[in-house]
Amino acid sequence: MAKLTSHLLREVHPAQCFDEAALLRYAAAHVEGFPAPLAGFAVRQFGHGQSNPTFCLECAAQGAVKRYVLRKKPPGVILQSAHAVEREFEVLKALGVHTDVPVPRVFCLCTDASIIGTPFYIMEYLEGWIYSDNKLPGVSPQKRKAIYIAAAKTLAALHSVDVDSIGLQKFGRRDNYCKRQVERWERQYLASTGEGKPDRYQPMLDLAGWLKQHIPKDDSSGASGTGLVHGDFRVDNLVFHPEEDRVIGVLDWELSTLGNQMCDLAYSCLPYIVDLTLEEKKSYGGFEHVGNPEGIPPLPEYLAAYCSAAGKPWPVADWKFCVAFSLFRGASIYAGIYHRFILGNASGGDSAKYAGKRANILVDRAWEFINRRTVLPERPPLVSQQKLVDEKENPYLMKGQGKFVPSQKVSELRNKLIKFMEDHIYPMENEFYKLALSNARWTIHPQEENLKEAAKREGLWNLWIPFDSAARARELLFGGNNCVSDGNSNDLLLGAGLSNLEYGHLCEIMGRSVWAPQIFNCGAPDTGNMEVLLRYGTKEQQEKWLIPLLEGKIRSGFAMTEPQVASSDATNIECSITRQGEYYIINGKKWWTSGAMDPRCKILIVMGKTDFTAPKHKQQSMILVDINTPGVHIKRPLLVFGFDDAPHGHAEIIFDNVRVPAKNILLGEGRGFEIAQGRLGPGRLHHCMRLIGAAERGMDMMVERALKRRAFGKMIAEHGSFLSDLAKCRIEVEQARLLVLEAADQLDRLGNKRARGIIAMAKVAAPNMALNVLDRAMQVHGAGGLSSDTVLSHLWATARTLRIADGPDEVHLGTIAKLEVRRARM
């Protein structure tokens, strides 16, 4: 049965009580944003789980209740190396800061046992569904499948983490993992049984002997299949979103380490092997024995979903060992729980009294599994991507059609967008260019604001906002409502609830004109800056800056690149952000700050260093700077192949002792890289989407020109060289489009971190494709193609800029190559 997290709470067990006043003093001093003053403080205990005692801290303040979770070592005598909350904190912090693996945010670790009796840490409270019964009773078949596939993909995400890049390279030894683990759990079993303790079970000792004789061949080197493992990954250690079939939190990291990931996968598959419900029965076989509950995928399909998402080989070779080891380890854990129950310090309540029986059941099932002739098919089943991904998870899919076919909702928006471009944007381009080339070029064309209002009326406003980013702002600003601006019920501030893939079909249309994105409030750098505020801004920051940006009343700039260093390596940045009391003082020189020349630009997001001595990826921070702050000096507009892109512009800016309130810091000091990773996915993929549209317009103009111009006795469209070039253009556009849409799809499903390879490919492919196509279009136009009489030269200049402005090709190629090398080593 599923229960919400809050429904698992009960009064604190007398044996688990501690000094709540001491805890409150500690939390108030060490938890960032801890509410004050408090009107009330209560501690309750989670009844779910058998290991480290876990508590809910309820803090009442200003008419609301803020919840935190505390996890601590149990009191009394415990086994050596067990209940290491310090390691739990370490892995949760690394994953939360550097990856998209869904984990609760951790706030602080206390190793001082004098506070509440044992070490503990405090983390974020997650309200969601926990499915304590792996058979998922009372859940629809469709939802059961979605839950299991979501679990498989979450484990795949965890196993895809590069531990070296997130500081967990010393989280465990990589060699002889299986050998050491068998020996460890054998010792722990022996320490929990015999000699005045619960009786030992001889088949358990025999199982240890079998495992020692069947250690995987590559275990000694740790070269294959070794990485981060959870150690206790199962459905009831996952928190699912209250309304969606996706994991929002992986819990209970006590057994996490570096080790054999196939053993971790096998442990998650134990419901297929064994049923630990305690009714007397002839066999305790799992789903494979009694049949899968309707909707739960068969074991091969579950494994195929994992292998597909993680890029792992089919695990048939060592599957018998991996499952037997998982059952062996589970038996040792249950024996320890039963021993603690006898001593009176088990945290799982009355259910702990059955742990001894469960241990012996697991041993019996291990021997049954070992004695099977075959345990897995030789090859994975052919499971289509459509079958693995529930349509509810991918709302852009139309039933019976491919995953890149836009839904009816997106098709309708696309048609409206095309019509708007034809009726309003294209006819105004010459007028916009005339103003941009005049002495008044740094002013706004009066018709632009009229077009914005028209776009709002058509529901074509803020279409870029991903639904997950909108959800946070909706909750923070509007209490969960999809708030609208004053005076216009159709002006949805938080967009149309589109995925990145859905938006890709629309963004492409906007890319056909350099003027279009800003008309729909979908232009850079505003979209990236709004994304930062949506994901990371405080309520105050959002109210002051995000809402005016969402409404289109102001514009913004992003100040990162510096002329004196290679800014493609952000660790080189020299701009300083120094704390002085309740302010930060900013000093530095930035250039290519796009948007800063616009008279509507009111806010800059500045990236600089708050601590030059910290680890290199913890030195940088981002801070909000009002462009009118004393000391902000805009020196000049920079030209891009002769275009100054007025009135938008690209500015060189000097920050001379700029004094900014400390509350303007985004997310906290040293978290600039973390923010950048969140910003770089969706925003930078938008450029690729727009480049597809730019290339399509170039092709349209190319064909139109060829059908009207005659050279050497026939129409240009009849020349073989033109036809060859046109065919190449179509091939290259379609290739790039599919790559960009696939990148958007992976961004939706896997997140920025795991989609970084395909996003890097799109960032290299799209600009180079657009340059090739636009160059051919310019060639067909002859000398006119090089002039400003058509949009081709401006589109080409923009595309060429993105081979650097969007991160140099060399950086993206390096990312792709490193991932390939890593894949080859797996």
At residue 388, does pLDDT exceed 50?
no
CA-to-CA distance for 701 and 692, rounded, in angstroms?
14
* Maximum Cα interatomic distance, the chain, rounded to a whole number of Å: 105
Q: Can you give the pLDDT at residue 396?
A: 36
Q: pLDDT digits over 424-463, tens only? A: 999 999 999 999 999 999 999 999 999 999 999 999 999 9
Q: Write out pLDDT tens, residues 136-191.
A: 998 888 899 999 999 999 999 999 999 998 999 999 998 899 999 999 999 999 99
Alpha helices in 488-642 (DSSP H): 500-510, 516-519, 526-536, 539-541, 547-551
| 242 upstream amide cis, omega within 30 of 0 | no
Bridge partners of 92, per DSSP, are none
Q: Which residues of 525-546 are buried (b: 16+ CB within 10 A; e: fewer)?
A: bbbbbbbbbbbbbbeebbebbb
Fold of 2-127: Phosphorylase Kinase; domain 1 (3.30.200)
Q: What's the CATH code, domain 174-227+259-371?
A: 3.90.1200.10
pLDDT at 281: 55
pLDDT at 489 over 80: no
Q: What is the pLDDT of residues 793-811, one digit of tens each?
A: 999 999 999 999 878 999 9
Higher pLDDT, 354 or 330: 330
Sheet containing 2-4: give its strands across: 2-4, 129-131, 238-240, 247-250
The residue to which tokens 């190559």 are assigned: 817
pLDDT, tens digit, 9 for 90 and up, residues 5-53: 888 889 998 888 999 999 999 999 999 989 988 999 999 999 765 568 9
Q: Is the pLDDT of residue 283 over 80?
A: no
Q: What pLDDT is attached to residue 389?
A: 39
- Token pair listed for 336: 């320890």
Quote the CA–CA distance of 470 and 212 in Å, as a whole number. 52
Average pLDDT in the chain: 88
Strand 257-260 vs strand 226-229: parallel, antiparallel, or unpaired? antiparallel
Segment 222-243, tens digit of pLDDT: 665 689 999 999 999 999 998 8
Alpha carbons 755 and 747: distance in angstroms, whole number: 5
Residue 94 or 497, more confident? 94
In 3D space, the residue among 529, 796, 550, 547 whose CA is nearest the CA of residue 666 turns out to be 529
Pick the CATH number of 676-825 from 1.20.140.10, 3.30.1300.10, 3.30.750.200, 3.40.50.150: 1.20.140.10
The H or E element containing residue 468 is helix 467-478
Q: Give yes or no for residue 472 having a pLDDT over 80.
A: no
Sorted by where each begins, the domain ranges of the chain are: 2-127, 174-227+259-371, 676-825
**Tokens representing residue 443 in the block:** 């002013």
For residue 387, name the pLDDT band (cuts at 50, 70, 90). very low
Has residue 552 got a pLDDT over 50?
yes
Q: Which of 448, 623, 468 is nearest to 553 (CA)?
A: 448
How far apart CA 557 and CA 540 sit, in angstroms, is 19
Using CA atoms, how far residue 186 sits from 106, 226, 287, in Å, is: 32, 22, 28
Higher pLDDT, 524 or 481: 524
Please determine whether the domains at 2-127 and 174-227+259-371 fall in the same fold group of CATH. no
Most confident of 391-405, 473-487, 717-731: 717-731
Inform me whether the pLDDT recorded for 731 exceeds 70: yes
How far is the C-alpha of 362 from the C-alpha of 330, rounded, in Å?
7
Q: Which residue has the higher pLDDT, 313 or 182?
A: 182
pTM: 0.57
- Between 407 and 602, residue with greater pLDDT: 602
The CA-based dihedral angle spanning residues 660, 665, 671, 673, taken in that order and rounded to the nearest 10 degrees: -60
